[in-house]
């Protein structure tokens, strides 16, 4: 967190690179139509970074990784696996107080 000399938090309203990566991966994977014949979105490197972050700080990144992993499973017809991952994401986000991520996981699960 950046704090000015007067004590004001200067990061309020800013999106971090980790958040940007999360939303980018979600957008790319959610917009991909598995039946279109197009190649899957090039998110492998970003997913690997997310996995590393989740391993080092599961409280902050574990639920995000579960949402990211659930989307391709859902798209590929692996309904049971997708639902398990969405459930894990919802529970993790709720437990750690990430309300916006909990809402995203619930919306994606629909």
pLDDT tens, residue by residue, 61-72: 899 989 988 988
Phi-psi category of 78—alpha, beta or left, where left has phi over 0 and alpha has psi -120 to 50?
A: beta
Q: Would you place residue 89 in the very low, low, confident or very high pLDDT band (cuts 50, 70, 90)?
A: very high
Extents of the domains making up the chain: 17-30+43-109
Q: What is the average per-residue pLDDT within 30-36?
A: 63
Please answer whether residues 12 and 5 qualify as being in contact, where contact means their C-beta atoms are separated by less than 8 angstroms.
Answer: no
HEC string of 49-107 equals: HHHHHHHHCHHHHHHHHHHHHHHHHHHCCCHHHHHHHHHHHHHHHHHHCCHHHHHHHHH
Distance CA 107, CA 58 (A): 22
pLDDT digits (tens, 9 = 90+) for 7-23: 555 555 566 788 888 88
């Amino acid at each position: 967190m950046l704090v000015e000399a007067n004590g004001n938090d200067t990061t309020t309203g800013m999106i971090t690179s980790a958040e940007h990566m999360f939303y980018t991966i979600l957008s790319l994977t959610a917009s991909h139509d598995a039946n279109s014949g197009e190649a899957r979105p090039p998110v492998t490197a970003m997913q690997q970074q997310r996995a590393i972050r989740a391993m080092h700080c599961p409280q902050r990144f574990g639920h995000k990784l579960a949402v990211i992993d659930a989307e391709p499973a859902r798209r590929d017809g692996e309904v049971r696996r997708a639902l398990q991952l969405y459930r894990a994401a919802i529970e993790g986000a709720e437990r750690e107080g990430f309300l916006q991520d909990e809402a995203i996981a619930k919306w994606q699960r629909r």
